[in-house]
């Protein structure tokens, strides 16, 4: 019955859309994550259970043309998301006489990142690396502590302005200030919406008793919004849990300590070189002693490993059929190129080493306090600066390092 209704609603929407200029853009269900969870647990959701997830999401977060977010008792959502800016980013492309733009996301981002923020826009499959799937709420280049702490608005804004060297992500420096702010808001919105969808999938797979049990007992087509909202109240802690870190992100920023005096001296480079090859920082195991990244490692990022098990590669076909992109092996960065996706200022490189790169095999450096005993094997922040010096040295004179001439003369360290 539900199938028939779906079809009917779809047909009506199509007809209406054709008739009055509404767009037909819809959020895509996260079929890949659902299947992965079904496979992990060997539980299969019924069509009604799947539809409930989409109906709940639409009730809370609206549509690509009319985004919204629920008011929560415990987390001030309007301090995380700005509805006016969201509306400017959403919807069809257009502008007013005074130059105010609408549909900024669709104009600039959706072709790669997709309407849903799944990284599977029309051009998505052709990019290398693939466009980011925002739906995990996981971002690689942030200033905040802990891999599950979201980026700050400023982190996202910086990324938009700078673009990401070495990828298809261009710089959007020329967009109007307001448009950039609108995009930051919309990326956060897609990330929160996407992670709530994942949580609802998990909730369904883990806790529904059988195929007839439902997350919420309402009729989304007929019940009043008040009744639906009341019935959904017991699920809103999921949103709170996933949204609160966005509110807290600014307080989780780790300030980069100032560059020590002589941070880029040849002595610092030599110390960094030693640390780079050593057992504690352990950079060379993947990047190679000379940073060229040509060590034989086979690994994938976390977005990929969610549906692809390198030990069992054949299994991937069922996910490809659901729209997942073909897994691409991760490439260890060649540090001699001097192309740093998260920025090439020394402070940027420091952050990458300090935080690691969430979602990738690049781990966070083990850091100790300055007054920790010598027996503590971890690194100090000064050690990190030495590593930064070496990494930047590699890209400034990589060829020389590679053939050993500079390494043995200028950088002997004494």
Partner 1 sequence: MSRFLLALVFGVCAVGMGSIPAVGQQYGDLTATFVYGGDPFVASPLKITSDKEFCDRFEVLDETLVVNPQNQGIANVFVWLFLGRGEQAPEPHPSYAETAEDKILLDNLECRFDPHALVLRTTQTLILGNSDAIGHNCKIDTFANPPINYTIPAGGQLEHQLKMPERLPARVSCSIHPWMSGWVLVKDNPYMAVSDADGKLEIKNVPVGTWTFQVWQQRAGYVNQVTIDGQPVEWVRGRLEIEINPGTNDVGTVVLAPELFAD
The structure tokens listed for 257 are 């300590």
Please answer whether residues 26 and 115 qualify as being in contact, where contact means their C-beta atoms are separated by less than 8 angstroms: yes
φ, ψ at 6 (rounded to 5°): -55, -50
Rounded Cα–Cα distance for residues 329 and 301 (Å): 8
222 vs 314, which CB is nearer to partner 1?
314
48 vs 330, which CB is nearer to partner 1?
330
238 vs 401, which CB is nearer to partner 1?
238
CB atoms within 10 A of CB 294: 12
The residues binding partner 1 (CB under 8 A) are 39-43, 74, 146-149, 199, 202-203, 206-207, 209-210, 234-235, 237-238, 240-241, 279-282, 285-286, 295-299, 302, 310-312, 314-315, 356, 358, 360-366, 377-378
6 vs 74, which CB is nearer to partner 1?
74
The structure tokens listed for 310 are 């390198």
Taking the complex as a whole, how short is the minimal distance between the CB of residue 285 and partner 1, in angstroms? 5
How far is the CA of 383 from the CAs of 219, 255, 260, 274, 396, in angstroms? 60, 16, 11, 10, 20
The strand pairing partners of 102, in sequence order, are: 94
203 vs 382, which CB is nearer to partner 1?
203
Helical residues (DSSP H) of 71-169, grouped into ranges: 77-80, 83-89, 104-108, 110-113, 153-162
164 vs 281, which CB is nearer to partner 1?
281
Taking the complex as a whole, how short is the minimal distance between the CB of residue 240 and partner 1, in angstroms? 7
67 vs 150, which CB is nearer to partner 1?
150
Closest of 216, 117, 116, 130 to residue 168, by C-alpha: 130
Hunting for tokens 């990458």 — which residue is that?
352
Residues with Cβ within 8 Å of 359's Cβ and at least 6 positions away in sequence, in order, are: 136, 138, 139, 140, 147, 301, 302, 303
127 vs 145, which CB is nearer to partner 1?
145
Taking the complex as a whole, how short is the minimal distance between the CB of residue 292 and partner 1, in angstroms? 15
Taking the complex as a whole, how short is the minimal distance between the CB of residue 298 and partner 1, in angstroms? 6
Please answer whether residues 114 and 120 qualify as being in contact, where contact means their C-beta atoms are separated by less than 8 angstroms: yes
Residues with Cβ within 8 Å of 396's Cβ and at least 6 positions away in sequence, in order, are: 338
Taking the complex as a whole, how short is the minimal distance between the CB of residue 113 and partner 1, in angstroms? 23
164 vs 196, which CB is nearer to partner 1?
196
Please answer whether residues 240 and 233 qualify as being in contact, where contact means their C-beta atoms are separated by less than 8 angstroms: no
Taking the complex as a whole, how short is the minimal distance between the CB of residue 383 and partner 1, in angstroms? 12
Taking the complex as a whole, how short is the minimal distance between the CB of residue 147 and partner 1, in angstroms? 5
Buried b (16+ CB within 10 A) or exposed e, 210-241: eeeeebbebebeeeeeeebbebbeebbebbee
234 vs 369, which CB is nearer to partner 1?
234
Taking the complex as a whole, how short is the minimal distance between the CB of residue 324 and partner 1, in angstroms? 17
* Widest pairwise Cα distance in the chain: 79
Taking the complex as a whole, how short is the minimal distance between the CB of residue 215 and partner 1, in angstroms? 10
The structure tokens listed for 230 are 């009341």
Taking the complex as a whole, how short is the minimal distance between the CB of residue 246 and partner 1, in angstroms? 14
Closest of 12, 167, 185 to residue 90, by C-alpha: 185
């Amino acid at each position: 019955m539900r199938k028939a209704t779906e079809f009917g609603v779809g047909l009506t929407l199509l007809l209406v859309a054709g008739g009055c200029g509404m767009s037909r853009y819809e959020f895509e269900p996260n079929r890949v994550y659902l299947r992965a969870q079904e496979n992990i647990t060997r539980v299969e959701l019924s069509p009604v259970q799947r539809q409930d997830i989409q109906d709940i999401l639409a009730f809370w977060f609206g549509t690509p043309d009319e985004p919204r977010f629920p008011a929560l008792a415990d987390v001030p959502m309007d301090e995380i998301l700005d509805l006016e800016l969201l509306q400017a980013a959403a919807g069809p492309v257009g502008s007013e006489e005074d130059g105010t733009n609408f549909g900024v996301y669709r104009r600039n981002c959706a072709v790669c990142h997709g309407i849903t923020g799944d990284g599977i826009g029309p051009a998505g499959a052709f990019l290398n690396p693939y466009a980011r799937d925002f739906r995990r709420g996981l971002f690689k280049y942030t200033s905040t502590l802990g891999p599950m702490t979201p980026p700050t608005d400023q982190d996202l804004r910086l990324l938009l302005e700078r673009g990401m060297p070495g990828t298809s992500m261009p710089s959007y420096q020329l967009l109007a200030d307001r448009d950039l702010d609108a995009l930051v808001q919309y990326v956060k919105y897609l990330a929160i919406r996407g992670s709530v969808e994942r949580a609802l999938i998990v909730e369904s797979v883990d806790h529904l008793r059988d195929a007839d049990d439902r997350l919420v007992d309402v009729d989304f087509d007929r019940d009043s919004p008040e009744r639906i909202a009341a019935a959904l109240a017991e699920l809103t802690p999921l949103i709170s849990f996933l949204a609160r870190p966005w509110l807290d992100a600014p307080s989780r920023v780790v300030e980069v300590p100032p560059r020590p005096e002589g941070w880029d001296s040849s002595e610092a480079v030599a110390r960094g070189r030693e640390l780079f090859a050593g057992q504690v920082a352990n950079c060379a195991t993947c990047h190679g002693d000379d940073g060229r990244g040509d060590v034989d490692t086979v690994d994938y990022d976390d977005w990929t490993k969610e549906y692809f098990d390198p030990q069992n590669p054949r299994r991937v076909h069922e996910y490809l059929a659901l729209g997942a992109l073909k897994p691409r092996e991760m490439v260890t960065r060649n540090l001699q190129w001097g192309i740093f996706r998260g920025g090439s200022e020394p402070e940027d490189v420091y952050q990458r080493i300090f935080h690691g790169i969430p979602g990738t095999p690049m781990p966070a450096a083990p850091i100790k306090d300055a007054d920790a005993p010598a027996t503590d094997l971890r690194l100090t922040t000064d050690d990190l600066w030495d590593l930064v010096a070496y990494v930047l040295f590699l890209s400034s004179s990589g060829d020389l390092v590679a053939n050993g001439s500079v390494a043995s003369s200028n950088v002997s360290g004494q």
